[in-house]
Amino acid sequence: MTEKEKMLMGEVYNACDEQLLIELNACKDRIQDYNNLRPTDFAARREMLQEILGACDEHVFINQPFYCDYGKNIRVGKRFFANFHFTVLDEAVVTIGDDVFVGPNVSIYTACHSTNPTERNTRQEWARPVTIGNNCWIGGSVTILPGVTIGHNTTIGAGSVVTCDIPDNVVAVGNPCKAVKRIDN
């Protein structure tokens, strides 16, 4: 099994694998090109996002600057919007539903590292997927940690750190993020 296959399957893999580094750096070059496009060049921005991301529709909109590791492991639904400084460490698949709005300075992490410094220094890591349902609003400066699922119709309050799954139809806030209000449709 390749290191990439291990990475995508959630197994421990070598983050310094030559092929992974080639793909990682190729994506970073594309991201730099995207971030340097004129903000009003909507057609070029959309086209480039369709090249970078694993899946998106023609209405995808991500304000610059945007950062990600591989890009192809990010799948966004219809009418996705993300504000400035959206960062996605997509070592595992990140799936985001339809009509999701993401505030500025939001980070989604899938990469996991040992807390043991000796183990961490081997550059062995693993990744856990993140899923965000349909009709969600992720407030500014939210951090979403590896392995989290956020339910449909949910709002995550600004500044929250999402460490565990959040159910459908709630407003959730805090560090760690917790549901504080039910949303009735």
What pLDDT digit, counting tens, does each position of 45-88 carry? 999 999 999 999 999 999 999 999 999 999 999 999 999 999 99
Compute the distance between CA of residue 185 and CA of residue 182 in angstroms, rounded to an integer.
10
Active-site residue, from 59, 85, 113, 152: 113
- Model pLDDT for residues 105-130, shown as the tens digit of each residue: 999 999 999 999 999 999 999 999 99
Q: Give mean pLDDT, residues 14-18.
A: 96
Average pLDDT over residues 17-30: 98
What's the whole-number mean pLDDT along residues 144-158?
98
What value does the mean pLDDT of the chain take? 97
Domain boundaries, the chain: 3-182
- Is 113 assigned a catalytic role? yes
**Topology of domain 3-182, CATH:** UDP N-Acetylglucosamine Acyltransferase; domain 1 (2.160.10)
Residue with tokens 């996002």: 49
pLDDT at 139 over 90: yes
Confidence of residue 185 (pLDDT cuts 50, 70, 90): low
C-alpha span between 169 and 128 (Å, rounded): 24
pTM of the model: 0.96
